[in-house]
Amino acid sequence: MSHAEKDSFGAKLGMWLFLFTEMLLFGGVFILYSVYLTRYPKEFGLGGHQLDLVFGATNTVVLLTSSLFAAMSVTAIKRGAKQLTLGLLSGTIGCALIFLFIKYLEWSAKFHHGIYPNSPKLIAGPPGESIFFSLYYLTTGLHGIHVIIGGILMTWTAVMVQKGMLNSADNVTLENVTLYWHLVDLVWIFIFPLYYLIL
């Protein structure tokens, strides 16, 4: 194995280990959700019905599309298609911005209706409903931070592609950033049914 191959293997292994810690982080949040869901199933159901299903479903489509663009960008750069790679990365970044904008609209609407952690409306209601929305803001907020980080990484990667620092012969950085983005997408695939489709 050449020195370059060893560096590539080490970088990929490091990314997988990092992604494992991220899975533990979100896994802990989902376990917490499950514990309280068992205790307050009715209140969680009522809370879920107050979320906007259209916003949630739209963001799901947006993130799935972004993951497709990200995966295609890896294939494109390996074929030496620089402009196509940049276009696909731009599409991924655009999807991230759309996702964040929709989430901003959704959060703003909830705040406008007095639904936010420790709001008078939630404090006056059943405790299970307050816990549901606290977990909702914790989970989607944490996920949103990861979307922002992913968007920044995608932008940085696009700049490297533009400058020729990433190309068909050296593209492990793009692969790793894409892996991170797929994790962001995967986490949302769990968030969407847990919060928006709960019965």
Q: Which string of DSSP letters, residue by residue, matches 79-102?
A: TT-HHHHHHHHHHHHHHHHHHHHH
pLDDT, tens digit (0-9, with 9 covering 90-100), for 137-172? 999 999 999 999 999 999 999 999 999 999 998 899
**Is there a contact between 89 and 171 (Cβ–Cβ < 8 Å)?**
no
Mean pLDDT for the stretch of residues 17-28: 93
What is residue 7's predicted lDDT score, i.e. its pLDDT? Answer: 63
pLDDT surpassing 80 at residue 188: yes
Q: Determine what percent of the chain is predicted with pLDDT higher than 70.
A: 96
29-35 contacts, C-beta under 8 A, 24 or more apart: 29/135, 29/138, 29/139, 29/142, 30/190, 30/194, 32/135, 33/135, 33/139, 33/194
First vs last C-alpha separation in the chain: 53
Distances (CA, A) of 156 to 30, 137, 149: 31, 28, 11
Nearest to 92 by CA among 8, 19, 182: 182
| Confidence class for position 3, pLDDT limits 50, 70, 90 | very low
What is residue 5's predicted lDDT score, i.e. its pLDDT? Answer: 54
pLDDT surpassing 70 at residue 116: yes
Domain count, the chain: 1
What is residue 117's predicted lDDT score, i.e. its pLDDT? Answer: 86
CATH of the domain at 168: 1.20.120.80
What is residue 60's predicted lDDT score, i.e. its pLDDT? Answer: 97
pLDDT, tens digit (0-9, with 9 covering 90-100), for 41-71? 999 999 999 999 999 999 999 999 999 999 9
| Confidence class for position 2, pLDDT limits 50, 70, 90 | very low
What is residue 132's predicted lDDT score, i.e. its pLDDT? Answer: 96
Query: What integer best gives the mean pLDDT of the chain?
Result: 93
Q: Is the pTM value of this prediction over 0.75?
A: yes
pLDDT surpassing 80 at residue 196: yes
Q: d(Cα 156, Cα 89) in Å, to the nearest integer?
A: 10
Q: Can you give the residue range of the structural domain that contains 20? A: 3-196
Q: How many CB atoms lie within 10 A of CB 112?
A: 9
